[in-house]
Amino acid sequence: MTVNLAGDLTLDGFVAVAREGAEVELSEKVKTRVKDNRRTLEEAMKDTDRPIYGVTTGFGDLVSEKIPREERRQLQVNLIRSHSAGVGEPLPTEVVRGIIALRANSLGRGYSGIRLVVLERLAELLNKGVTPYVPQKGSLGASGDLIPLAHVGSALIGEGKAYYDGDLLSAEEALDRAGIGEIKLREKEGLALINGTQAMTSVMALGTYDTTKLLKYADIIGGLTAFTLEGNFAQFDSRIYELRPYAGQAKVASNLRVLTEYDPESYSSDNVQDPYSLRCIPQVHGSVRTAHEHAREVLSTEINSVTDNPLIFDGSRDVISGGNFHGEPIALAADYLKLALSELGNISERRVNRLLHPKLNGKLPDFLAENPGTNSGLMMAQYTSAALASENKCLASPASVDSIPVSGDQEDHVSMGMHGAEDLRAVTENLRKELAVELITACQAREFTEEPLTEPLEDVYRRVRGAVPPVDGDRELSSLIGKASDLLRNADYLERFTRRYGLE
């Protein structure tokens, strides 16, 4: 698979490049507009009295400093060096590949004043498997992700470190082994490489993509729990959701009707109404879907946006400074989604509690244990779920409400979007494990019930039992949770399941 970086990148295409190693290509249209835009900048630079931020001036609070013509190219190199100030563990390969793809996609729009060779070298990093070493911490989310992007830029000029063929090398050696030439930066090019939102966007995009599967799995697992606890399935009747017509909750209710095989014409139950963790699955899960849809809309815009500064416009030949590098759209969307996902974990943990609680789980044995007392069953699995839920509550605290002024107060409001995006990925991983706990708990409850499962829920049960055995005596639970968590990473089974049973 080859992905064209032409300013119309999809989330699926992004993931193909970042995670699956797909190659990229640059169309002739992209090449032409980048060349034309560079000529526009070079014409503007001929006016010796014209101040152009980051080209004829210094950066940040040093904007008033005029840069002599003979020092302008060195200014770009110095910018990359001085901004390579990250600390901490390296970002994962998929995140860095995503950063490169997004930066190239943005620069290819032709408003950044770079030479074509810069764009071609970024594409070569992806296609030839060179991944710059980018420390995780340092971004404030404005002016973009300066520090992470500077580490990517360092590799392009043969400085810093990079991975190649599984080895961590000097960037110079990695480029040499891959047959990629180092770049000698010219005016504006260092600034164009680092002034953007691509690091936080890459992290958030991968987290959001992974969440898509979990939203569907959450409905399936919630349906299995509701059925096992003999819930009142009339609470999923479509007429209820016509009176509060949120699309997300209507889809979840539809999924639950399929899973429980609810038929309003024939259904009856002595159970008048369920606790909220069962009755309100559509309202809670549906609201999370709304947040997720918003995040995808933001990402769709951001991954194809031009986010550096200043911008060069060919038609008018204007060079205009602005603030597209500010990460607020990503920061707010990441905070919104991680908060929503935390709620999805919270309600899952409450369902686990009902499955295990001796006074709440009906006819089921205490903590779903064989011989309760001698055995503790799945008692401690809830502890794990509760711990993850609590951690997610901390991670859900919004990063975007914080701002620490920098650069002599020239950059006096920042988004902290990278923190929000990283928290989102952590919340997503915790949520997967919380859902895994509910999945193995609901399947364990099935061992003590006689009511046959519906066809779709039996399909799920058999799938789980192929990897996770029943707990017929006390044993270590960590590996079972891990196996169930791995099942929730499987997109192929989920796709077949949703297509077979018509889930949304």
pLDDT in tens, 350-376: 999 999 999 999 889 999 999 999 999
Residue 162, both tokens: 């990079």
pLDDT reported for residue 477: 97
Q: Which residues are marked as active site?
A: 53
Q: What does residue 408 show for φ and ψ, rounded to 5 degrees? A: 60, 30
- Using CA atoms, how far apart are residues 228 and 223, in angstroms rounded to an integer? 9
pLDDT reported for residue 48: 65
Ordered by start, the domain boundaries in the chain are: 2-196, 204-501
pLDDT reported for residue 411: 84
Q: Topology of domain 2-196, per CATH?
A: Fumarase C; Chain B, domain 1 (1.10.275)
**pTM of the predicted structure, to 2 decimals:** 0.95
**Residue 131: beta bridge partners?**
163
- Using CA atoms, how far apart are residues 53 and 325, in angstroms rounded to an integer? 14
Q: What does residue 177 show for φ and ψ, rounded to 5 degrees? A: -65, -35
Domain 204-501 has CATH 1.20.200.10: yes
Contact 158, 124 (CB under 8 A): no
- Using CA atoms, how far apart are residues 341 and 353, in angstroms rounded to an integer? 19
- Burial state string for 186-201 with b = 16 or more CB within 10 A and e = fewer than 16: bbbbbbbbbbbbbbbb
Tell me if domain 2-196 and domain 204-501 are identical in fold. Answer: no
- Using CA atoms, how far apart are residues 289 and 445, in angstroms rounded to an integer? 28
The three-class DSSP label of residue 169 is strand
- Using CA atoms, how far apart are residues 429 and 486, in angstroms rounded to an integer? 11
pLDDT reported for residue 453: 97
Residue 337 burial (CB count, 10 A):
29
Which residue numbers in the chain have pLDDT < 50? Answer: none
pLDDT reported for residue 429: 97
pLDDT reported for residue 438: 98
Contact 85, 141 (CB under 8 A): no
